[in-house]
Amino acid sequence: MKIGILGGGQVGQALWDTIHMEKENILNILGEPLEIKKVLVRDLSKKRDIPKDFLTNNPDEIIYDKEISLIVEVMGGEEPAHTYIKRALEEKKFVVTANKEVIALHGDELHKIARKKGVDIAFEASVGGGIPLIKTIKEAMAVDKVKEIWAIVNGTTNYILTKMEEELRDFEEVLREAQKLGYAEPDPSKDILGLDTKFKLAILSSFAYHTTIKPEEIYTEGIEKISLRDIQYAKELGYKIKLLAISKFYNGEIEVRVHPTMIPLSSPLSSVNGVYNAILLRAEKRGDVLLYGEGAGPYPTAMALLSDILEATHTILYSVPRYYSFAYLYPSKIKPSDEIYTRYYIRLWVKDQPGVLAQIAKILGENHISISSVIQKETSEKEGKAELVILTHKTYEKSMSKAIEEIKLLPILEEWGSLIRIEV
């Protein structure tokens, strides 16, 4: 059985190594050897551990090779990966990919082509690295109804937030260290701004709710505005700040959002630290299912790819009927983001004078927001100013947005700090 790989970078190399290291195991599972015929790279002269004879810089040598019946895409990015996958499926080749961007943006289209051509596209490696998330949702949860997803699926942001919290260091300083250690890309914007998490949530939610969630429908905030002060206040109040991917499906409406979230120390997600990922699935019959593990890294990712490859290869070799997922079946109704109903933490600098708290409490009260606690600290840091932290009970996002607009117009406001949603 011959396969081709599009991409010979970190993951492509790890897959090459894994397939060679696991030769015997693979032979036992498949009943015949798995051979990598060609690997597509951009630069043939680059030093790498894949022998030169196996490399090509011409994608057609893999996509249109009649001997190759399965193609693994590990190039990354939307294009040309999306076009190559599409061509491969049209050529009736099975595709296995680690590309969250392509699946989040074009999963629906690619699945339709795959079914029409009698093949399939598998992408376990696109979310959560080595953690078997897609298989769990696609197979184990197929006849249960997933009602909620709570997930930490970006190792870079989780590493930064963990370091800020444990070592009481600023965002910028920890980010620079993460880049030096290889935990953050030279251009970290996709991770920091929450875009990577948004793509992953689009994939997970489409599968969990059997529909199509487009990334642009997901309300998204990154961690770039989280300050050390917020981290310290969260700690003092018994919370941690995590970049959460949240989705819920109730009454025919899907709520999907990605934003920094304060979670209590009693939540199992609060102990997911560093580059680790975790996903909490709340299902109707099964209740809570928690999956935890290494969310990235070339070798865990190669393992996820290999499990998809073995399953697809089995289908090809023994004509086993494919177990298709239920994703993309139904249209989705997305709940408007101003209808989010949650608790809030707000932090602001105000004039240090009597009656300030009463003015803020009045605005919150007029917008039907009830305060659960207030911290006001005397500080010599900013003369004449006091820092105020307010935690609210549950309220609607639209009420909170209106109240903040009004608070920002108050003459007693010196400086706006931050707003973080609290979930339990």
Ligand X SMILES: NC(=O)c1ccc[n+]([C@@H]2O[C@H](COP(=O)([O-])OP(=O)(O)OC[C@H]3O[C@@H](n4cnc5c(N)ncnc54)[C@H](OP(=O)(O)O)[C@@H]3O)[C@@H](O)[C@H]2O)c1
Residues that bind ligand X (CB under 6 A): 7-12, 40-43, 46, 74-76, 80, 98-99, 125, 129, 296-298, 301
414 is in an annotated binding site: no
Structure-token match 């004509």, residue found: 319
* Secondary structure in 3-state letters for the chain: CEEEEECCCHHHHHHHHHHHHCHHHHHHHHCCCCEEEEEECCCCCCCCCCCHHHEECCCHHHHCCCCEEEEEECCCCCCCHHHHHHHHHHCCCEEEECCHHHHHHHHHHHHHHHHHHCCCEECHHHCCCCCCHHHHHHHHCCCCCEEEEEEECCHHHHHHHHHHHHHCCCHHHHHHHHHHHCCCCCCCHHHHCCHHHHHHHHHHHHHHCCECCCHHHCEECCCCCCCHHHHHHHHHHCEEEEEEEEEEEECCEEEEEEEEEEEECCCHHHHCCCCEEEEEEEECCCEEEEEEEECCCHHHHHHHHHHHHHHHHHHHHHCCCCCCCCCCCECCCECCHHHCEEEEEEEEEEECCCCHHHHHHHHHHHCCCCEEEEEEECCCCCCCEEEEEEEECCEEHHHHHHHHHHHHCCCCEEEEEEEEEECC
**337 CB-near residues (< 8 Å, 6+ apart):** 219, 257, 397
Provide, rounded to whole angstroms, the least separation between the CB of residue 8 and ligand X: 4
Provide, rounded to whole angstroms, the least separation between the CB of residue 80 and ligand X: 5
Cα–Cα distance, 383 to 352 (Å, whole number): 9
Provide, rounded to whole angstroms, the least separation between the CB of residue 125 and ligand X: 6
366 is in an annotated binding site: no
Catalytic annotation present for 351: no
List the structure tokens of 172. Answer: 């910028």
Residue of 38, 93, 138, 200 marked catalytic: 200
Provide, rounded to whole angstroms, the least separation between the CB of residue 46 and ligand X: 5
Provide, rounded to whole angstroms, the least separation between the CB of residue 215 and ligand X: 14
**Cβ closest to ligand X, residue 129 vs residue 260:** 129
Provide, rounded to whole angstroms, the least separation between the CB of residue 85 and ligand X: 11
Q: Annotated binding residues, as ranges?
A: 100, 185
Instruction: Write out the catalytic residue numbers.
Output: 200
Residue stretches of the annotated binding site for NADPH = 100
